[in-house]
Chains A and B, each alone.
Chain A
Amino acid sequence: MSKDWTVAVEYRETESGLARLRYAADLSAKLDGTLTVLMPYRQAELALAATATGQDERTCLLLTCESLIAKLTALSLPNTCRRRIQALNLDDASNWPEPQVVVGPSPTRLKAEIIIDPAGETLVSRVMPLKLLVPFGNGPSASAALESAARLAQRLGAEVILYHTTWREPKVVSTDPRDHMCTLARDLERKLLGRTSAFGLKVTSVVEMVDDVAEGLVRAAYAHGCCLIVMARSPHILRGSQVATTIKVSAIPVADVTVVEETP
């Protein structure tokens, strides 16, 4: 993946749309990346708009982009944020960008490694230092989440909190949740800790026994002052994904990492 971070967000003039834009701008400034503001349109809409203005389509599109630039300037976004406007032809996906991060509700039109739903937040974090929470179970999706989270954390200078919930093992007397972890989870924890350390990041692992996974991890995110929860949606789960459930119960932004299934 390119070292230059690109954060894309669709332009919307609603309150929620402008909040997402501010979040995306703050994120791209902190990543020292580029903010791409997308202006989606359909060919038929452009044709009608051009006819209505008496201009050719290219001019109409250019003037619209200029108007958008003026609007963005008036919004007082972070000065350190590099910005560009991209008109997105919805009828032709061949020229669509592939940013590293898309800010908006999941799923989005674009392919991106990370989709972040800012949950109404306009800043990446209200407090310092920045911390990312990466939940893990015993499946492989956590590794994908961690890779993305680690790259994000490295660029942001953030800490990583690994979080795991485990069932109570009836045969185990100990009250320490770690003693109730299954072997797969323990091995995965070791692997994730090693991988995070390899990025040179400060990492903490938290293991709890809770009744509800999504509620537990959101509470842990609050308890540790995390600004982002990074999760990967397993492609095998058809319904009841923990990512979807977490987004419902979380007022902390959730990053949905795309898991690319390896073809045999």
Chain B
Amino acid sequence: MSRAVLKSPYFVMGVAGAMYTIKIAAKVPIGLAVNSPMVYGEGLHNVADLIIVGLGVLVMLVSTVKIKRYAHGLIKLRNFGQLITGSLLLLTAFEVGRKGLAGVLAWWPAVDVWVRGFLPLPQPEAVSVGAGQFPLLVAILGGSFLLSQLVGRWQVRVGRANRNATVTADGSETISDGYVELAVLTGILGENLLGWHWLEHPAALLVAVMLVRTGTEIIREGFDELMQKKLAPEIEAAIIKAVMSVPGVIEVADFLTYGVGHLANIEMKIRTLASATAHDELRFAIKAKLRAVLAEFDFTQSRKIVDCHKPKRRRSCLVVAIVKKGDVTVIAPTLAVANALRRVNVENGEPQRLEDYPVLDSLPALTAWLAEKRTDVFRAGTCTDEELAAIKAAGAQFEPTSSFTLDSLDL
């Protein structure tokens, strides 16, 4: 068998599927034969694992199929499968848990009667492992544990090498399932070597808890993806940090993310001072950064929508006290020596339109005029306390200038 085949995600998932099929075929019949809910419950857990493997292969196959009618193709079929599988696991957990609970409650008859008043429980059945069945049971469970470790680690290695999140995640799940199998094996050994037959029922409850845990995780994952849950906060933070490191970006606004399996969707609006002619290159740079960040989090595909916008328009009105003499104009050191007022429309911090007006003959008139012109800032070299009060009364603030040249204000 060639190395390329051994490293193929499809091949390794196929091997995982075959492994689960063998486990189911071995555990469920033997578990039923020895009346062990712990064992056949574990076998039913493997049914869910087999379905998950099948869904994973389905996702890998359909993720490349483009269907015009559906924006993400058929990739979300996996999420429906997850909801169904998770639900089946919860039903299995209920069945296994009922039998385990019945066995445990048999030790407290009074409590048993009370619980049966509202919860239908079966009659507890004793585990009966025949002399010939015990080695078979140990071989099945022990072999199952070893297979889980070997195949799981192989899946993780192949998944990482191919940057395939589905295979990697399934490998991790396979490895952790092995520890449940180890617990079940421990229970069987305890029952049959040490005579601890009471171990069966608490162990069955433990298996039921594991089934509930796995089922709810699968349902939650499927539901989150269907509802387009946002990417994890640390991923979003990494994205923002990467985008802000791009020269030209002032702010990230209207930021939206969600994941569909290993596909990440990002929509963002960025604010920039760069002219429209530079927006294409800015978008190119941002998307390259996003690709790099998403690859670190194992997103092998992504859709990125980046809009470039100017900063939010900020308009204000500036009035500068000036001294004019012939062709020469300077900023007035004080209001008293000014012989004109220059009103400036400012947009995003840059002066736009200028108009000159005569000075007012009193401070109240100045206040009224500044208020009428909706002045935000008044500038001169300095001002007296009375002038400051008059300026503030108009709703404006005073800012002293450092230089006497209008050039220093770009006026």
Contact = CB atoms under 8 A, between A and B. Distances in A.
Interface residues of B, number: 44
A126 interface: yes
Interface string B317-361: 000000101011111110001000000000011110000000000
A30 B323 CA distance: 41
Nearest to B324: A48
A250 B248 CA distance: 9
Given A14-B350, A222-B281, A222-B288, A68 B403 contact: yes
A215 B333 contact: no
Nearest to A47: B328
Contacts of B248: 119-121, 251-252
Interface in B373-411: 381, 400-405, 407-410
Contacts of B252: none
A248 B247 contact: no
B277 A249 contact: yes
Count class of interface residues, chain A: 35 or more
Contacts of B288: 222-223
Contact of A17 (B280, B281, B410): B410
Interface string A129-161: 000000000000000000000000000000000
Interface stretch (A37-45, A162-170, A197-205): A37-45
Given A39-B408, A49-B333, A15 B349 contact: yes
Interface string A43-77: 01111110011000000100010011011000000
Q: Chain A: interface secondary structure?
A: helix
Contacts of B325: 48
Contacts of B329: 45, 48
Contacts of B381: 53
Interface in B242-256: 244-250
Interface in B289-336: 323, 325, 327-333
Contact of B247 (A45, A47, A119): A119
Nearest to A217: B281
B57 interface: no
B285 interface: yes
A181 to B, nearest CB: 24
Closest 10 CB pairs of A and B: A251-B248, A15-B349, A222-B285, A251-B274, A49-B404, A120-B273, A67-B402, A218-B281, A44-B328, A53-B333
8 contacts: A41-B403, A41-B404, A52-B337, A60-B404, A64-B404, A222-B284, A248-B275, A250-B281
Interface of A: 11-17, 39-42, 44-49, 52-53, 60, 64, 67-68, 70-71, 119-121, 126-127, 215, 218-219, 222-223, 227, 248-253
Given A15-B349, A45-B329, A48-B329, 20 more contacts: A11-B402, A13-B401, A14-B351, A14-B410, A15-B348, A40-B405, A40-B407, A44-B328, A47-B328, A48-B325, A53-B381, A67-B400, A120-B272, A120-B273, A126-B246, A222-B284, A223-B285, A249-B278, A250-B274, A250-B278
